Structure 1
């Protein structure tokens, strides 16, 4: 129950950030229509989109890599905004290699971090537990990942796609009652295939991205798959 409350509060926090951002753009467009400001001056500050996306990621209770990505997005936005304002904190020739180093470090961290905890519903699992088919812990960065799971008691897990794509096929798996998958997609896509007898519940928050469900409606909801997380300039699709 406490975990559900925390997840709900985190989702509300992220939606508040998104709502404030949308409202701010609405005010700016209104002021432009009233000839109080000029929209081209607003476009000058477009790197704020990176900062907003990073803040949404930092509000997430999903994969830890999502928060690392949030810090990177905020750093990119601040650097680009500072450059436009005439403050060059760091040259672009130095900045982009640093971003690549950070991504490489994230890959190594997730690969070698055997003690990392994956939270599935109210139950924590270590990365060693995720080696079985019951719990998944998938990351795709600048690449693609495909996996088929046929576990007799699927529990859920985490999926992260950063400028890459992930496809998880669960059509041969079974559920006891409920499983939770935390997703985090940034400039990437995640596809989850489920059996037709599963009820899919989406609790995702899209930021210039989208969540799509293309599944059949089962006669009952005794087996439920909850998909929660964020799609930032990316997409998450659940289908049969």
Structure 2
């Protein structure tokens, strides 16, 4: 996926350089600084973000915001109408995602349901206007619920005993959650984010890893970082 990002950014940069060169030789006269040109700094990264394995919802919302702002700058949409449409569109995007998740389901919800049916312990960490560190060294780990509200949570799994798929539910509201995972597991993130996001770029998955940690994230003006 990183290769796709590099290819897309390479195409964008080559296109920009080609326009500048053609303008310099007088072959074309393409106006780069058009009305609303600054919205491209929202549109392009959001579009490329749709090809990531991470949080596509945030990228889709960013793309819609960028396009709406560009249309408003081009006088296609009225700014007053823009703000009236923007909120319901964003809410609709999250609503559709929640419906699809409810219909399709995912493996993380199945794991959590099985744990609760078997009355297995789910570790809980909650930090509000404070910080909390939890360490699972040499403990059997199957799941945890992490919540940070105007605070921070650090969850250290580097020395945990993980012998089967596990699940983490992480909620970050105006806060931050750091999850440190060992090298021998895969990480899959499912995120609902509004002005926030989840990132697992510092961790490398491998087809040889036997177990997977599924992380369900809700980020509102906050973030979840997997390292």
Report if TM-score (shorter chain) is over 0.5: yes
Larger Rg: 2
1:34 pairs, out of 55, 60, 74, with 74
Task: Give 2:222's aligned residue.
Answer: 234
Deviations 1:28-64 (A, max 9, x none): 424423325543x368769949x949x76xx59xxxx
TM-score under structure 2 normalisation? 0.55
Matched residues in 2 for 1:203 and 1:122: separation?
Answer: 17
SS at match of 1:215: coil
2:126 pairs, out of 126, 139, 142, with 139
SS at match of 2:198: strand
Matched residues in 1 for 2:58 and 2:184: separation?
Answer: 36
2:173 pairs, out of 161, 186, 192, with 186
Cα RMSD after superposing both structures: 3.9
Q: Are positions 1:123 and 2:114 aligned together?
A: yes
Matched residues in 2 for 1:44 and 1:204: separation?
Answer: 25
Deviations 1:180-224 (A, max 9, x none): 111111111110111111211222233221211112445612021
**Deviation, structure 1 residue 143:** 1.4
2:198 pairs, out of 211, 215, 221, with 211
TM-score under structure 1 normalisation? 0.53
**Deviation, structure 1 residue 175:** 1.1
Show structure 1 runs of 5+ residues with no match: 1-13, 61-117
* 1:24-63 to 2 correspondences below 5 Å: 25-26=65-66, 28-39=68-79, 41=80, 48=87, 52=91, 59=98
Show structure 2 runs of 5+ residues with no match: 1-54, 100-108
Aligned residues: 161
